[in-house]
Chains A and B, each alone.
Chain A
Amino acid sequence: MSEVHDVVIIGSGPAGLTAAIYTDRANLHPLVLEGEPSSNSDQPGGQLMLTTEVENYPGFVDGIMGPELMANFRAQAARFGAEFRTVKAGKVSFDGPPHRLWVEGEEIQARAIIVATGARSLMLNVEGESKLLGYGVSTCATCDGFFFRDREIAVVGGGDSALEEALFLTKFASKVTLIHRRKELRASKIMQDRALRHPKMAFLWDSRVSRVNGETAVESVTVEDVNTGTTTDLPVSGLFVAIGHVPNTDLFKGWLDMEDSGYLITRHGSTFTNVGGVFAAGDVQDHVYRQAITAAGSGCMAAIDVERWLEATGSADHEIADTPRNW
């Protein structure tokens, strides 16, 4: 049987990597299962890997590109010796400690586990969407905006992510129509001001996309007025979906308490789950704030919770340095 790790961190967004930095500096030698490449924000580095400029992460006066920020997080965790594996956990058994999980058929044991698997983009689930994914339907504006130079496109959503994508896409597209199911935007004031003022942007309020049309590429989307039910076809060659996220918690069903929406439930003011030795941090347990900085903050909390839990249960292998209090 393999060694029993002090702590395994599942996920490598701001929460997972901050937890890695802190547990590393507490001599817990974390193993980070960083996930696998994908194009729907469920990948190593998390949601920020698909964004451009991050303007609200403290410490970067002029902003920083999302992928660069996450590369920095990872390099900082690696500097203190965190071990990374570019895999997804395939199965878990939280009947310990030690708890067990499996990657590529191999069993891994850990005294403590930090779940930081984040959330992935929601899709519309309407006719034509999955067929045309990659042929005009996109989940990654930074990847695909380039292909819509001088074309008319639509963005669905009303939050910060939707507006950020829409504004980014105005660099390429001749016109960007934002389709939102309410009469007003959820996004922050500064993003709203930029979007509402932008000459290339148009808005369809109280509207939802009910079908994506086209055989081999997107030709139009059918838009339904949510009040009257009347539909119109909006001719566009691209559709970018930014209607929110769903937590990556399928793996933990039956083990960890979660809300109906799938978000993990943590004990108030901490990162403790219902299972001793299993902690949750970041967007996987937060549907309220969902910021890089709050995810990083809760990753730090999880690391400190793990450290104290291992101390209290006397199950850490080595002497734990009381690093966090020395900062």
Chain B
Amino acid sequence: MAANITTLTDTNFNEEVKGADGPVLVDFWAEWCGPCKMIAPVLEEIANTHGDKLRIAKLNVDDAPDTARQFQVMSIPTLIVFQDGEIQKRLVGAKGKAQLLEELQAFL
């Protein structure tokens, strides 16, 4: 995983996401989810090119089931953008880079 992508757990979630200064995109994913793997390189590219404005973080639902449950994640990949601890945007399902950038325009 790219160095500029944060790995989230049930324990560091509040600090890393709710305590963050700018917007943070959290990718809820798992090893056994094909579409999650497909968008991983796209998110890495976004982290590389837009990481200064929108931080990218990943949360493995196998390792952090409580947090996934807290946000009622029932389908992965689910991408949620948090700002000041509030949910700003929620995207369910894998999407191509162009469509993803368009959806995230407000944060880039």
Pairing of A with B: yes
B20 within 8 A of A: no
Question: Complex formed: what's the CA distance from A43 to B33 in Å?
Answer: 13
Identify which of B50-58, B81-89, B93-101 touches chain A: B93-101
Question: Complex formed: what's the CA distance from A37 to B34 in Å?
Answer: 9
Question: Complex formed: what's the CA distance from A188 to B93 in Å?
Answer: 30
B5 within 8 A of A: no
Q: How many residues of A contact B (CB 8 A)?
A: 31
Structural contact, B76 and A37, CB atoms closer than 8 A: no
* Residue from the list B36, B74, B93, B97 in contact with A40, Cβ < 8 A: B93
A255 within 8 A of B: no
Structural contact, A146 and B96, CB atoms closer than 8 A: no
Structural contact, A143 and B33, CB atoms closer than 8 A: yes
B61 within 8 A of A: yes
Given A44-B38, A49-B34, A49-B35, A38–B72 Cβ distance below 8 Å?
no
A324 within 8 A of B: no
**Per-position 1/0 for A127-157, Cβ under 8 A of B:** 0000001111010101110111000000000
* Residue from the list A49, A67, A146 in contact with B30, Cβ < 8 A: A146
Structural contact, A37 and B35, CB atoms closer than 8 A: yes
Given A138-B75, A147-B73, A147-B74, A50–B34 Cβ distance below 8 Å?
yes
B64 within 8 A of A: no
Question: Complex formed: what's the CA distance from A140 to B74 in Å?
Answer: 11
In angstroms, how far is the closest chain B Cβ from the Cβ of A117?
A: 15
B46 within 8 A of A: no
In angstroms, how far is the closest chain B Cβ from the Cβ of A53?
A: 12
B48 within 8 A of A: no
In angstroms, how far is the closest chain A Cβ from the Cβ of B32?
A: 7
**Docked complex: A159-196 residues within 8 A CB-CB of B:** none
Residue of B nearest to A51 (CB): B34
Question: Complex formed: what's the CA distance from A159 to B53 in Å?
Answer: 47
Question: Complex formed: what's the CA distance from A43 to B32 in Å?
Answer: 16
* Residue from the list A38, A87, A104, A134 in contact with B78, Cβ < 8 A: A134
Structural contact, B35 and A146, CB atoms closer than 8 A: no
B39 within 8 A of A: yes
In angstroms, how far is the closest chain A Cβ from the Cβ of B28?
A: 10
Structural contact, A38 and B94, CB atoms closer than 8 A: yes
Structural contact, B30 and A216, CB atoms closer than 8 A: no
B92 within 8 A of A: yes
A29 within 8 A of B: no
Question: Complex formed: what's the CA distance from A49 to B39 in Å?
Answer: 13
Given A135-B72, A135-B75, A216-B72, A38–B95 Cβ distance below 8 Å?
yes
Structural contact, B94 and A142, CB atoms closer than 8 A: no
Within 8 Å CB of A39, what residues of B? 35, 75, 77, 92-94
Structural contact, B93 and A43, CB atoms closer than 8 A: no
A36 within 8 A of B: yes
Structural contact, B74 and A144, CB atoms closer than 8 A: yes
Question: Complex formed: what's the CA distance from A143 to B23 in Å?
Answer: 26
* Residue from the list A43, A66, A135, A148 in contact with B94, Cβ < 8 A: A43
Structural contact, A144 and B75, CB atoms closer than 8 A: yes
Query: Could you jot down 23 A-B contacts, CB within 8 Å?
Result: A36-B95, A36-B96, A36-B98, A38-B35, A38-B96, A39-B35, A39-B75, A39-B93, A43-B38, A43-B94, A44-B38, A49-B35, A50-B35, A134-B74, A136-B74, A138-B74, A140-B75, A143-B35, A143-B36, A143-B75, A147-B73, A147-B75, A148-B74
A-B contact sample (15 more), CB < 8 A, given A36-B98, A135-B72, A143-B36: A37-B35, A37-B94, A38-B96, A39-B92, A43-B94, A67-B34, A88-B96, A138-B75, A140-B33, A140-B34, A142-B32, A146-B30, A146-B61, A147-B68, A147-B74
Of all A-B residue pairs in the complex, the 7 with the closest CB atoms, nearest first, are A36-B96, A134-B92, A37-B94, A39-B93, A37-B38, A134-B75, A49-B34
